[in-house]
Amino acid sequence: MALVLNTNSYVEIADADTYFESRIDSANWFNASDEIKEQALVTATQLVDDHAWIGSAVSSSQALAWPRKNAIYNDDRLGIQVSIAEDVVPNRVFVAVYEQALHLTNNEDLLAGTTQTFESISVGTISLTDSNSDVTRTSIKPSVVMKPIKPLIRRGSMGVGTSWWRSN
């Protein structure tokens, strides 16, 4: 399926190209074909979209999680509470999609689970051998993707448990 803005991707190739023009270590993005870029942006949108977001979807028929209504978060940098309009997709989501797309472009076969190979594995006295040094442990969603959207994800939904609050 081709990239369709606001249906399977939050951003288009031109948006991503503009973002990466001023970002270091983005050469692989510019070396990729438009087909690969589209696939990366669509897949990145799917990965980023898969969270329990603050607020609720504006419409039950919208294809993506954003835009949302009643989306309010605390911006630690600004030190204020931010309310996101119902017709807006926050820039934080765009940044996460760009970074996720680059991560996918930089790590071929990341989703195939083929980035880790061993030459031998023993069970008795447990031994793993990797003489080619090709063992990598690459996160599917690195911190550069999660950091901008963390304030937009409901508390307790990032796999770290429930947030507890004490009232006096």
In order along its 168 residues, the chain shows pLDDT tens digits of 699 999 999 999 999 999 999 999 999 999 999 999 999 999 999 999 999 999 999 999 999 999 999 999 999 888 999 999 999 999 999 999 999 999 999 988 777 765 455 555 667 777 666 655 555 567 889 999 999 999 999 986 544 444 455 565
Predicted pLDDT at 105: 95
pLDDT score of 125 = 77
> Residue for token digits 């669509």?
42
Give the residue numbers spanning the domain of 41: 13-152
| Inside any domain, residue 163 | no
Put simply, whether the predicted model's pTM sits higher than 0.95 gets the answer: no
> What is the domain count for the chain?
1
Q: Is residue 126 part of a domain?
A: yes
At residue 133, the 3 state secondary structure works out as coil
Predicted confidence at residue 162, as pLDDT, reads: 44
CA neighbor of 137 nearest in space, from 158, 117, 157 = 117
| The pLDDT value given to residue 1 | 67
- Domain annotation covers residue 162: no
Specify which residues 129 forms β-bridges with.
120
For the chain, report the end-to-end CA distance as a whole number of angstroms.
Answer: 54
CB crowding 14-34: b at 16 or more within 10 Å, else e: ebbeebbeeeeebebbeebee
Is residue 84 situated within a structural domain? yes
Residue 161's pLDDT is what?
Answer: 41
Residue 166 lies inside a defined structural domain of this protein: no
